[in-house]
């Protein structure tokens, strides 16, 4: 009935049917008929994401080296919200989804649980043991190349470390730039906003570079398959998805059990982060860091039934395959194109890029030395340190086609970010007090 090209599918729908759904959603939003609740927000965000993704995946060079549809979705969304092209009530609704409802956290919960429970137990323990040195390698690489680039523009090494490396490698906005600015105010007496305004700007520039670099690394991995794993693990000696989970046929009940278990682990992480042990040696511990520890512990002890582990992997695949476009549109809400363009000076761009590349090289080299493939730790321990935290992790993993590595990405953002805060406290106290 339809030409062959119309049989292309998106979200499992024929392209022509997906286009009709998208047209209905946009017309409803344009006329104000669309509700500004969760359902209305989701259909509008998916429609914007669908259009951008389909275009971005078909643009030569862009689809291979710039990040394809996901990056185009992010940039177009940022443009739409910055210039108020989206009606205000829907812009507010999208903000509600990302901020009040915190859909980003909800999304990450299932990626963490599924990515950890899908790994073989021995592989899990080995990979986590070598991961902290890999994070530190990325930090050293970022510092060295950042200082080298700074010298080219007459910026002294201390300023490079304090104003560029720390906020970029600090685990994002809420876990990095904000607490660093608070430490800055405590140490100097100067308002935190004076540090934060530049920190968030340079972090945003680095976040863009991190996403673009992730796409390039994915392309390199396709050219050099011996440099990367299968997208689910880091260790060179192999390691498939947990064999006991892969052979299980997943039922609706298994998915329900995995859903309940995932949010239960999140509740446990919150309990420790907010009540039982909120800080270790004075450094706050994020709930995702605790969650990773407890999920890994449960996986290592083998107490999670195989059917639930398989269900957790299915949930992870569903979220990463179908709902990532919602996240990319939502991330655009927090990116002001005008501020970003104003901050794009040659010096800032070169220094930020050098820090990102340094993080990649440092993590790749140390990761290889501890037994990892070089590309995968370069992405998770390097780029996921040099981005905007949770949303940046999703963008980086999406651009590199490595969503199953979310647990490692979150280790970088949370545990690595905590390490940066400790280093930042020492450096700010030493040089600015």
Q: Please name the residue that has the structure tokens 């107490």.
A: 303
Query: Do 60 and 194 fall within a single domain?
Result: no
pLDDT at residue number 283: 67
Same domain, 334 and 321: yes
User: Are residues 179 and 39 part of one domain?
Assistant: no
Residues 275, 129 within the same domain: yes
pLDDT tens digit string along 215-250? 999 999 999 999 998 887 788 865 444 444 446 789
Consecutive H or E run containing 430: helix 417-432
Residue 258 has pLDDT above 90, yes or no: yes
The answer to whether residues 220 and 276 belong to one domain is yes
Split into its structural domains, the chain has a count of 2
* pLDDT tier at 175, thresholds 50, 70, 90: low
Averaged pLDDT, 190-195: 78
Task: Quote the pLDDT of residue 406.
Answer: 87
pLDDT attached to residue 234: 86
Residue 203 has pLDDT above 90, yes or no: no
Q: Which of 172-186, 335-349, 394-408 has the highest mean pLDDT?
A: 394-408
Residues 6+ apart with CB under 8 A from 311: 250, 254, 255, 256, 257, 258, 259
Does 58 share its domain with 112? no
- At residue 118's C-alpha, the angle toward residues 411 and 412, to 5°, is 10
At residue 119, does pLDDT exceed 60?
yes
Give the Cβ contact number of residue 27 at 10 Å.
Answer: 11
Quote the distance between the C-alpha of residue 343 and its chain's center: 22
- The torsion angle over the Cα atoms of residues 158, 159, 160 and 162, rounded to 10 degrees, is 90
pLDDT in tens, 75-86: 899 899 889 898
Which of 110-114, 150-154, 326-330, 421-425 shows the highest mean pLDDT? 150-154
pLDDT at 200: 78
Q: How many Å apart are CA 323 and CA 65, to the nearest integer?
A: 22
Residues 6+ apart with CB under 8 A from 27: none
Arithmetic mean of pLDDT over the chain? 86
Measured distance CA(45)–CA(289) in Å, rounded: 29
Q: Give the end of a domain, one of 82, 100, 118.
A: 100
Whether residue 40 contacts residue 48, with contact meaning beta carbons closer than 8 Å, is answered with no
Separation between Cα atoms, residue 403 and residue 296, nearest integer Å: 17
- Rounded CA-CA distance 234/395 in Å is 19
- One domain for residues 319 and 235: yes
Mean pLDDT of 17-37: 94
- Do strands 279-280 and 13-14 pair parallel, antiparallel, or not at all (unpaired)? unpaired
**Of 419, 352, 398, 423, the residue nearest 131 (C-alpha):** 419
Q: CA distances (Å), 420 to each of 230, 238, 251, in order?
A: 30, 31, 43
With a pLDDT cut of 70, the percent of the chain lying above it is 94
- Match 């989970």 to its residue by tokens: 245
Tell me: do 262 and 400 sit in the same domain: yes
The last residue of one of the domains, among 51, 84, 100, is 100
Q: What pLDDT is attached to residue 74?
A: 84
Extended strands (E) in 258-305: 279-280, 283-284
- Non-local (6+) Cβ contacts of 6 within 8 A are 14, 15, 16
Same domain, 90 and 224: no
Closest among 36, 13, 50, 8 to 323, alpha carbons compared: 50
Question: 215: burial class by Cβ within 10 Å (0-12, 13-18, 19+)?
Answer: buried
Query: In which domain, by residue range, is 63 found?
Result: 4-100
Q: So what's the pLDDT on residue 239?
A: 45
> Considering 100, 116, 147, which residue would you say is the last residue of a domain?
100
The pTM of this model reads 0.76
Same domain, 174 and 323: yes
Q: What is the mean pLDDT of residues 29-39?
A: 94
Lookup: tokens for 415: 């545990």
Residue 160 CB coordination number (10 Å): 23
Give 184's pLDDT tier (boundaries 50, 70, 90).
confident
Summarize the confidence of residues 55-61 as an average pLDDT.
87
Quote the tokens at residue 216: 């390039």
Partners of 13 in the β-ladder: 10
Stretch among 86-90, 106-110, 118-122, 369-373 having the lowest mean pLDDT: 118-122
Which of 35-39, 126-130, 201-205, 414-418 has the highest average model confidence (pLDDT)?
35-39
Mean pLDDT of all residues in 309-322? 89
13 membership: H or E segment, kind and range? strand 13-14
Q: Is the pLDDT score of 20 beyond 70? A: yes
Residue 57 · residue 72 · CB < 8 Å: no
pLDDT digits (tens, 9 = 90+) for 361-382: 999 999 999 999 999 999 999 9
278's tokens: 């909120």
Looking at residue 428, what is its pLDDT?
A: 80
Whether 350 and 408 map to the same domain: the answer is yes
136 shares a domain with 73 = no
Q: So what's the pLDDT on residue 227?
A: 93
Instruction: Give the highest mean pLDDT range of 145-149, 288-292, 309-313.
Output: 145-149
Average of pLDDT values for 97-110? 88
């Amino acid at each position: 009935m339809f030409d062959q090209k119309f049989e292309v599918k998106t979200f499992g729908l024929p392209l022509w049917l997906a286009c009709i759904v998208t047209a209905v959603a946009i017309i409803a939003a344009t006329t104000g008929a669309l509700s500004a609740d969760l359902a209305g927000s989701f259909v509008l965000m998916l429609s914007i994401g669908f259009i951008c993704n389909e275009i971005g995946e078909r643009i030569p060079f862009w689809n291979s080296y710039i990040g394809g549809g996901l990056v185009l979705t992010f940039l177009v969304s940022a443009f739409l919200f910055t210039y108020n092209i989206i009606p205000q009530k829907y812009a507010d609704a999208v903000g509600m989804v990302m901020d009040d409802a915190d859909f980003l956290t909800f999304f990450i919960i299932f990626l963490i649980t599924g990515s950890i429970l899908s790994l073989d137990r021995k592989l899990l323990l080995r990979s986590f043991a070598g991961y902290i040195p890999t994070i530190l390698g990325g930090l050293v690489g970022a510092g060295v190349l950042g200082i080298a680039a700074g010298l080219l523009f007459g910026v002294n090494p201390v300023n490079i470390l304090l104003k560029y490396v720390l906020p970029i490698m600090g685990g994002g906005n809420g876990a990095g730039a904000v607490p660093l600015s608070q430490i800055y105010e405590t140490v100097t007496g100067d308002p935190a906003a004076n540090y934060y305004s530049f920190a968030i700007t340079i972090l945003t520039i680095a976040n863009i570079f991190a996403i673009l670099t992730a796409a390039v690394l994915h392309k390199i991995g396709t050219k050099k398959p011996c440099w990367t794993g299968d997208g689910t693990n880091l260790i060179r000696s192999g390691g498939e998805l947990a064999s006991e989970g892969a052979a299980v046929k997943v039922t609706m009940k298994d998915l329900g059990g995995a859903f309940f278990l995932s949010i239960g682990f999140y509740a446990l992480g919150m309990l420790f982060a907010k009540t039982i042990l909120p800080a270790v040696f004075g450094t706050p511990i994020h709930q995702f860091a605790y969650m990773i520890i407890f999920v890994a512990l449960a996986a290592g002890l083998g107490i999670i039934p195989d059917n639930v582990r398989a269900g957790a992997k299915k949930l992870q695949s569903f979220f990463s395959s179908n709902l990532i476009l919602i996240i990319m549109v939502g991330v655009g809400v927090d990116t002001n194109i005008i501020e970003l363009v104003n901050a794009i000076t040659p010096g800032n761009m070169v220094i930020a890029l050098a820090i990102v590349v340094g993080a990649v090289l440092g993590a790749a080299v140390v990761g290889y030395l501890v037994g990892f493939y070089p590309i995968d730790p370069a992405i998770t321990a390097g780029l996921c340190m040099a981005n905007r935290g949770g949303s940046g992790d999703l963008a980086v993993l999406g651009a590199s086609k490595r969503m199953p590595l979310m647990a490692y990405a979150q280790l970088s953002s949370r545990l690595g970010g905590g390490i940066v805060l400790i280093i930042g406290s020492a450096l700010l106290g030493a040089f600015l007090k």
